[in-house]
Amino acid sequence: MGNIFRHTGINIGGLNPVSWIYPEDVAIFNSSDSSLYCLIVPKSGKSWNAMYGTPETIQLESEQQDTPGGMKYLYKLKVLVPKDRIAVEAELFRMTGRRLILKVGDKNGTVRILGTMESPMKLTSKLLKPAVLEAFNGYELYFAGEFSKPAGFQLVSTNGIPEGETED
C-alpha cells in the first residue's frame, strides 16, 4: 500500500513555460502506466515549439470521470497570448485542427506531458479585442484532451525520477 506524505519543500503556484510538438515530429514516445513517467524525443531536425503566455494567465485544470468504459481523465489548458499580430494568427491557423502534445512546466519545476501519440490535445482559440482601451488585447487559447490515464511527468534524469523530486 502506498502513502501520500506531506510535501516538505516549496510549493509555488503558476505555470510557465508551455510548449508543443506535433506527434508526427516525435521519434520516441515512451510512457509508463505504473509510474506515470514519460520520455519524448523529437525526430532529428524537429524540436518543441515555445509558446508565450501572459504571466499569471496560464491555467491547467484536470478532472477524472468514472464512465461505463472506465476512468477517463480530462485536461483543459487556457493560455492568454498578448496582442493581435499576424505571426500569432498564422501559427494558430497551422495548429488548429491538428493533433498536439503539450509540455507544461510549473514554477516548482514539475513538467507534465498532456497528450499522447494516440490521444492528442486539440486547440481552439479566440481573439479578444475589448472596447476598453487598457484591457487585454490578444488571443485566448484553449487546449483540451481526454485520456485513459493521468498526464505523464517528463522523465529528465537517468535514475528514473524527474529532476527536483524524490521517491516519496
pTM of the model: 0.82
Q: Which of 131, 84, 101 is nearest to 39 (CA)?
A: 101
Does a structural domain hold residue 141? yes
Residue range of the domain that includes 149: 15-154
Tell me what pLDDT residue 167 has.
46
Tell me what pLDDT residue 130 has.
81
Among all chains, which residue has been given the C-alpha cell 510535501?
7
CA distance 90 to 102: 19
Does a structural domain hold residue 54? yes
CA distance 77 to 91: 18
Tell me what pLDDT residue 8 has.
62
DSSP one-letter code for 51: E
Does a structural domain hold residue 5? no
Q: 152 — alpha (psi -120 to 50), left (phi > 0) or beta?
A: beta
- Vertex 29 angle, CA 23 and 31, to 5°: 130
Among all chains, which residue has been given the C-alpha cell 496582442?
83
Tell me what pLDDT residue 61 has.
94
Does a structural domain hold residue 24? yes
Tell me what pLDDT residue 146 has.
95
The number of distinct structural domains making up the chain is 1
- Vertex 32 angle, CA 164 and 66, to 5°: 105
Tell me what pLDDT residue 2 has.
67
- Please tell me whether the peptide bond between 130 and the residue prior to it is cis, using omega within 30 degrees of 0: no
Tell me what pLDDT residue 12 has.
57
Does a structural domain hold residue 162? no
Give the SS3 label for residue 144: strand
Among all chains, which residue has been given the C-alpha cell 484536470?
62
SS3 for 22-44 is: CHHHEEEEEECCCCCEEEEEECC
Does a structural domain hold residue 159? no
Spans in the chain with pLDDT lower than 50:
1, 157-164, 167-168
